[in-house]
């Protein structure tokens, strides 16, 4: 069965939307922004959650967080977090990039 791709439904804050759009964000090094943009593009292009389970992505479901929230690694410091709205086809909301530590 072929499913149409559903883009990211919403961002948790403007800086993440700006990075996704290719804009510079104060305080984020360009190399980090480039890696974050790549992860955001992967999330936007995914049709199922398992599409995001690539080597190095370190896809994890966050425990004790409602609604269902997942994260992928950008680098040792930064993560992209998102909520699953629907898994087939994948739709995510409240997408956030930042340092969760």
pLDDT of 77 strictly over 90 = yes
Query: What is the per-residue pLDDT for 1?
Result: 45
Tokens of residue 22, six digits: 């290719």
Query: What is the per-residue pLDDT for 27?
Result: 96
Query: What is the per-residue pLDDT for 68?
Result: 87
- The CATH number given to 14-98 is 3.30.2310.20
32, 75 contact by CB (below 8 A): yes
Instruction: Measure the CA angle with vertex 73, ends 99 and 71; round to 5°.
Output: 80
pLDDT tens digits, residue range 6-60?
A: 689 999 999 999 999 999 999 999 999 999 999 999 999 999 999 999 888 999 9
pLDDT of 84 strictly over 90 = yes
pTM across the whole model: 0.90
- Map out the domains of the chain as residue ranges: 14-98
For 12, 40, 41, 74, 80, the CA distances from 86, given in Å and listed in that order, are 17, 17, 18, 23, 18
Among 8, 6, 3, 29, CA closest to 20 = 8
């Amino acid at each position: 069965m072929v499913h149409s791709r559903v883009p990211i439904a919403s961002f948790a804050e403007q800086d993440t939307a700006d990075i996704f759009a290719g804009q510079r964000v104060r305080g984020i090094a360009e190399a980090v922004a480039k890696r974050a943009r790549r992860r955001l593009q992967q999330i936007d292009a995914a049709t199922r959650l398992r599409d995001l389970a690539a080597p190095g992505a370190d896809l994890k479901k966050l425990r004790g967080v409602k609604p269902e929230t997942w994260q992928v690694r950008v680098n040792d410091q930064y993560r992209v977090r998102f909520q699953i709205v629907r898994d087939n086809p994948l739709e995510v909301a409240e997408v956030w990039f930042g340092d969760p530590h």
